[in-house]
Every structure is written in C-alpha cells, then in structure tokens.
C-alpha cells in the first residue's frame, strides 16, 4: 500500500516537471529563438530575440552597414550630370544670368533715353565736363554723332529697346534656336558699332563722353555674357515640325 502511493507521487512529480519544461520551450520559441526538438531548456537562461531584417535589404547591404539597410536615394552625382547635360542641350541659362543681362539692358535703356532727350532739347549733360579729354558737348554735337543722318542717341535707344526684350527672363526661357541666334547676332552688331564709336571719339573727335562710355561698357558686358552663355549652355537645337 505504501509502495504504490510512493510510485503515484513520483509519477505526478515527473508529469509536473515535463509540463514546466514544455512551457519554457514554448515561451522561448515565441521570442524568436529556435529551439531544437529534444534539447533541454535550462531554467533561468536568458532568451535573445532575433534582430528584425527589413524587407528589400540584401544580406550584403546589411552586413556592410552593420545590419542597417542602404537608404541612399536615387538622386546623386549621375542625376545632376544628366540635368546639367539636358540644360546645355536645350540652351537654358540659369536665373542669375537672366536677371543680370536684363538689369544691364534696363540700365543701358535708361542712359539711352537720357541721351536722346538731351540731344533733341540741346541741353547739357549733368555731371559731364566740357573741356579736356572728357567733353560730352563736343562729342554729342560732332558730325560723328549722326550715322546716315540718324542721331547716334536714337540708334542707341532703338538698340536697347530691343535688348531689353531679348534679354528678359521670358526671352531667355523661350528655348528656340532662332531667338538665341538673334540675341547673339544683335550683341555682335552692337559691339561692332561700339568699336566704331570708340574709334571716332578717341581718334577723330579727340574727346569722350561719360554717358556714351557707360553705354559702351554695358554693351561690352552684355556681349561677353551672351557669348559666355552660348559657350557654356549651348544654343538650342532646331525644332522640327
């Protein structure tokens, strides 16, 4: 009688131990650690959860970055080079170039308007000397102040009215080959006329006009920027159709 009770007690303790071992194994599997069948689980042993791996990351990328996926976007130096090449192909110049040439054209137009008014009103130019090398009156009243019977001041006014239109940001963004060629041709003609006027002032008249010289300088800068834009960003290709 006593022996049978002891056997039943040992059997119950064995079943309880087996149940506890099975619960520990189930908790370990739930935390992400693989437990081999038949392997005993020690009581009190810590169980580490497996590190998650994001979808789309390759083992090589994860290993190279210590488990972190490669988060670099699609844009990079190659894309920037493609954008710059496309800008050169279409002849699109940056905004600073558009605004700089437009401001210079407006300045040239303002001086040309003043010279035209002074020519027809026969008034002296403000702040300009009338003796020595700088003599505005001698220059503006000389025979060289007319070309084919047209006052040079009027020709300058017409040129800069056109320059304001062709140098405006809207004209720069109009990526047509004809517009770019017309802008370049206008600047070449303008710089050629300026060289003639400089020759006339220095070698024929013997005096210079400060206002005329300012217009000449503006024309030189516009010519340089226009040629630079054509060389750096190109001229748009001819559009078919």
The reported pLDDT for the residue numbered 175 is: 81
- What pTM was computed for the model? 0.63
The reported pLDDT for the residue numbered 130 is: 78
Same domain? For 96 and 60 the reply is no
Q: Which domain holds residue 50?
A: 2-64
State residue 208 phi and psi, 5-degree precision: -125, 160
Same domain? For 59 and 115 the reply is no
CATH number at residue 225: 1.20.1440.130
Same domain? For 104 and 26 the reply is no
Tokens linked to 200 = 């006339």
The reported pLDDT for the residue numbered 75 is: 57
The reported pLDDT for the residue numbered 236 is: 83
Tokens linked to 196 = 């003639």
Q: How far apart are CA 173 and CA 19, in angstroms?
A: 81
Contact 226, 183 (CB under 8 A): yes
Neighbours of 59 (CB within 10 A): 8
Same domain? For 102 and 215 the reply is yes
Same domain? For 38 and 101 the reply is no
The reported pLDDT for the residue numbered 123 is: 84
The reported pLDDT for the residue numbered 232 is: 92
The reported pLDDT for the residue numbered 33 is: 42
Same domain? For 129 and 42 the reply is no
Same domain? For 50 and 115 the reply is no
Tokens linked to 184 = 């370049």
Per-residue pLDDT of the chain (241 residues), as tens digits, is: 444 555 566 666 666 665 565 544 444 444 444 444 444 444 444 444 444 444 444 444 434 444 444 444 455 556 455 545 554 544 578 999 999 999 999 999 999 999 999 999 988 898 887 778 899 989 999 999 999 999 999 999 999 999 999 999 999 998 889 999 999 999 999 999 999 999 999 999 999 999 999 999 999 999 999 999 999 998 888 766 5
């Amino acid at each position: 009688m006593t022996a049978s009770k002891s056997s039943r007690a040992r059997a119950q303790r064995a079943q309880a131990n087996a149940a506890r071992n099975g619960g520990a194994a189930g908790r370990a599997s739930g935390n992400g650690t693989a437990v081999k069948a038949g392997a005993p689980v020690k009581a009190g042993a810590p169980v580490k959860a497996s590190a998650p791996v994001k979808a789309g990351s390759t083992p090589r990328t994860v290993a190279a970055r210590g488990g972190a996926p490669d988060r670099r976007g699609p844009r990079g130096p190659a894309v920037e080079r493609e954008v710059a090449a496309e800008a050169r192909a279409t002849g699109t110049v940056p905004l600073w170039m558009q605004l700089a040439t437009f401001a210079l054209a407006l300045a040239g137009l303002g001086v040309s308007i003043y010279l035209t008014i002074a020519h027809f009103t026969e008034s002296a130019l403000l702040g300009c000397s009338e003796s020595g090398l700088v003599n505005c009156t001698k220059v503006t009243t000389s025979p060289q102040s007319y070309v084919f019977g047209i006052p040079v001041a009027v020709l300058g006014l017409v040129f800069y009215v056109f320059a304001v239109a062709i140098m405006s940001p809207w004209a720069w963004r109009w990526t047509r080959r004809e517009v770019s060629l017309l802008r370049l041709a206008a600047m070449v003609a303008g710089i050629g006329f300026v060289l003639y006027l400089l020759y006339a002032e220095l070698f024929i008249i013997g005096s210079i006009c400060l206002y005329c010289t300012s217009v000449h300088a503006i024309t030189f800068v516009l010519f340089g920027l226009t040629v630079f834009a054509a060389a750096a960003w190109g001229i748009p290709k001819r559009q078919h159709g």
